[in-house]
């Protein structure tokens, strides 16, 4: 567990160093509730890295990059792919997916590994494809999967990306459990490392995306 957390810190620090080196000068829009835990975490890190950003509930031009907390914005809000750096409304890999992939690659837990993803929402958007491209065998389970226990038994890695788990799951995971939704009951039953979220790395990925976009402009 300590090794996993240290790896998260290392990956985050490396991204933050690159972000600072790019020295983005534009402003980033954080769209959602002022009480959003996610957006407040992004703003805290942005302030530390010297990135100017504004937190508001309604989009307004001329921002070139926007991060959205979809749980706290009106349902009629849409973004163009050009400004949607977290791919909340567009095709592409979400920042959580990118952070998850980076962690698994750093831990050598992708190539020839048997991985189950539980969930198919934004948090794991495009993750399965990238894992397969890196030679993992991937199972995607979801609310309509009849026997979740079977889909999570004997896997090298299981990634839970759902706010609730209402079916029986297996605690027989060999290498790592990543609980993105903080929804797994009785995590102490696992005999492998368990991580309940990778928010620190996700925020670093987002701000690095913004810095890279500014650098290319």
DSSP assignment of 57-100 equals: SS--TT-S-EEE-GGGS-TT----TTTBTT-SSSSS--HHHHHH
Q: What are phi and psi of 169, to 5 degrees?
A: -120, 160
Instruction: Say if residue 96's pLDDT is above 70.
Output: yes
Interior CA angle at 158 toward 123 and 10, to 5°? 70
pLDDT band at 74 (very low <50, low <70, confident <90, very high): confident
DSSP assignment of 7-53 equals: HHHHHHHHHHHHHHHH---SEEEEES-TT-HHHHHHHHHHHHHT-EE
Domain boundaries, the chain: 2-91+200-216, 95-198
Report domain 95-198's class: alpha beta
- Three-state DSSP at 142 gives coil
201/191 Cα distance (integer angstroms): 24
Predicted local distance difference test score (pLDDT) of residue 185: 95
Look up residue 49 and give its two tokens: 């890295």
Residues 6+ apart with CB under 8 A from 46: 28, 52, 53, 207
For residues 88 and 70, the answer to whether their CB atoms sit within 8 Å is: yes
Interior CA angle at 23 toward 211 and 100, to 5°? 35
pLDDT tens digits along 126-183: 999 999 999 999 999 999 999 999 999 999 999 999 999 999 999 999 999 999 999 9
Nearest to 86 by CA among 96, 75, 78: 96
Query: What is the biggest distance separating any 2 CA atoms in the chain, rounded to whole angstroms?
Result: 50
pTM value?
0.95
């Amino acid at each position: 567990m300590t090794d996993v957390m240290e790896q998260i810190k290392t990956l985050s620090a490396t991204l933050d160093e690159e972000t600072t080196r790019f020295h983005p000068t534009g402003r980033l829009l954080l769209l959602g509730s002022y009480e959003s835990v996610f957006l407040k975490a992004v703003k805290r890190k942005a302030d530390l890295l010297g990135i100017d950003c504004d937190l508001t509930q309604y989009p307004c031009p001329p921002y070139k990059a926007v991060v959205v907390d979809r749980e706290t914005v009106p349902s009629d809000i849409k973004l163009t792919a050009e400004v949607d750096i977290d791919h909340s409304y567009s095709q592409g890999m979400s920042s959580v997916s990118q952070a998850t992939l980076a962690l698994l690659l750093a831990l050598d837990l992708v190539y020839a590994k048997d991985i189950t993803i539980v969930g198919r929402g934004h948090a794991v958007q495009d993750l399965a494809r990238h894992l397969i491209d890196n030679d993992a065998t991937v199972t995607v389970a979801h609310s309509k999967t009849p026997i979740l226990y079977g889909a999570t038994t004997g896997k090298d890695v299981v990634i839970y990306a759902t706010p609730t788990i209402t079916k029986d799951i297996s605690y027989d995971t060999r290498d790592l459990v990543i609980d993105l939704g903080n929804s797994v009951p009785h995590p102490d039953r696992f005999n492998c490392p368990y991580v309940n979220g990778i928010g620190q790395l996700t925020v670093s990925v987002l701000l690095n995306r913004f810095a890279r976009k500014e650098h290319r402009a």
